[in-house]
Amino acid sequence: MPKDPHGFSLRFWKWLLVACLGLAVLIAPDRVASANSTAWPFPFRPGEELVYALSWSSIPAGNATLSVRPGVAPDGAPALHMTATARSNAAVDLFYLVRDRFDSYTAPDLARSHWYRKNQKEGSYLRNNTVFFDWSQGLALRYGSDWTLRDFPYLLPGTLDPLSILYEFRRRPLNEGQISLIPVSDGQKTVMGEARVSGRETLVLANGTACDTFVVEPELKDLGGIFKKSPGARMFIWLTAEPEHIPVKLQSEVVIGHFTADLVRVKENP
């Protein structure tokens, strides 16, 4: 695995992105029309985008976004289309350019994934994979950038991809001590993804507002790709208490120092 000139792994940006992926779009709990015109059942809605400021050990490092919109599955059926991006700023670009994009298409009720794509450029590291969830065979088919079939792990009922699983975690009721388990596949492995509500905390936001939050700790230790962390590293996501569960902050350790993602802007394009 290539590393940047300062010695911390490319996985830094992968952790950074997964944290933002875990910060699902939970801004408006009202009911809106879905792609098939039924009542919208989730506390996030298509057309919303969250923007995060990223910092590494208090040094500004870039930004990340999360968006969700109606989409179309490979068979033409309605779907949810979720996108996450990470981009380093101009100063970081001078020694370690990052341009990452992840896309996920799932069933409208988040019951299972249809396909998942990641396009990563991190320094000299390039990775482009597409995973098709073939439910007729019960396999996740992972193709490389040359469309060569690389892996095909078995699927469990209701398996989601590494982006949409975190939307599923976020839409669930939160209580201290709660543990959620959901099958997830990145096309290399299929594992049980876990998210633990480790506590409740009053967090003071950048604008000085005190916010009641749940602290959630995601763990997918057996899954590679964007979820791989340093040995012993822990990641935490602060979500506002009922009813919206708005993700306002994330923090995790890296090989050198730590990183933070702070929600700075919400765009709405209904």
The full 3-state SS of 84-97, as one line of letters, equals EEEEECHHHHCCCC
Residue 169 identity: F
Residue 117: its pLDDT value, please? 94
Residue 213: its pLDDT value, please? 92
Sort 263 into a burial class: Cβ within 10 Å, 0-12 / 13-18 / 19+: buried
Residue 142: its pLDDT value, please? 96
Can you list the residues of the chain whose pLDDT is less than 50?
1-38, 224-229
Residue 221: its pLDDT value, please? 58
Residue 5: its pLDDT value, please? 36
Residue 10: its pLDDT value, please? 38
Residues 166-180 have pLDDT tens digits of 788 778 888 888 898
